[in-house]
Amino acid sequence: MYPYRFSALAAACLVYVAFGFVFGSGKLQAKPGPGIQSGSTLTIPPYADRSVWGVYVRRLQDTVAKRWWDEIFYYNYPNSISRGVVTLSYTFSPQGTVVSRSVISNTANGPFADRALAAVRNARIQAIPASILAQAPRGLTIVQTFRLRDNDPTDYGLASSYPQLLINRFPDTGAAENLDLRRFYPLQRFIYQSRIVSISAAE
């Protein structure tokens, strides 16, 4: 009976693999690690990744999120923006210069989107690390969300940046790199939230 069970299991596995080969990509692919290219897409590192790529992505996300907060409060916009989520796409050169930006979606209002666009335009984005340039020689294209009272629970909230916690930390200089979000649970109590959801090599 046991040899029969083993043979049946082996046959099932072979059928599964064959099905995946025919109807899938036709090849087996390992999941890329942080900073490893898959087509034109770059992997977003997990929270607290201390590799060069991991530190760079978190600094980029924090820098833009902090600038978004500044655009809202420095210019006295908190009463003019509504609850919702704005998703932007923006592209910057290897030197960190923004060359394009656009709104992909907006469930809030116009002033909310305007402040997010201004944040991308005015953020001090750092140059792409030399170790990543081979994968993104023309720069990077980022898709990033900006949320007000609309919680994103990804990775228990650790995937996001919270500009309230960055007010005096100046992330563009690296001063926020020792911030441990786990000390501030529950993170859903912070109503301003931003997260990079996609990174790809600029075309």
What is the tens place of the pLDDT at every residue in 44-90? 999 999 999 999 999 999 999 999 999 999 887 888 999 999 999 99
Identity of the residue numbered 12: A
pLDDT reading at 179 higher than 90: yes
State residue 96's pLDDT score.
Answer: 98
How many percent of the chain have pLDDT more than 70?
A: 81
- φ, ψ at 120 (rounded to 5°): -65, -40
Task: Provide mean pLDDT across the span 144-165.
Answer: 97
* Of 136, 151, 140, the residue nearest 193 (C-alpha): 151
pLDDT reading at 93 higher than 60: yes
pLDDT tens digits along 125-142 = 999 999 999 999 999 999
CA end-to-end distance (rounded Å), the chain: 59
What pTM was estimated for this model as a whole? 0.81
180: Cα within 13 Å, side-chain hemisphere: 2
pLDDT reading at 203 higher than 80: yes
Residue with the larger pLDDT of the pair 66 and 15: 66
How many percent of the chain have pLDDT more than 90?
A: 77
Burial 94-123 (b: 16+ CB within 10 A, else e): bebebeebeeeebebeeebbbbbbbbbeeb
Residue with the larger pLDDT of the pair 21 and 185: 185
pLDDT reading at 3 higher than 80: no
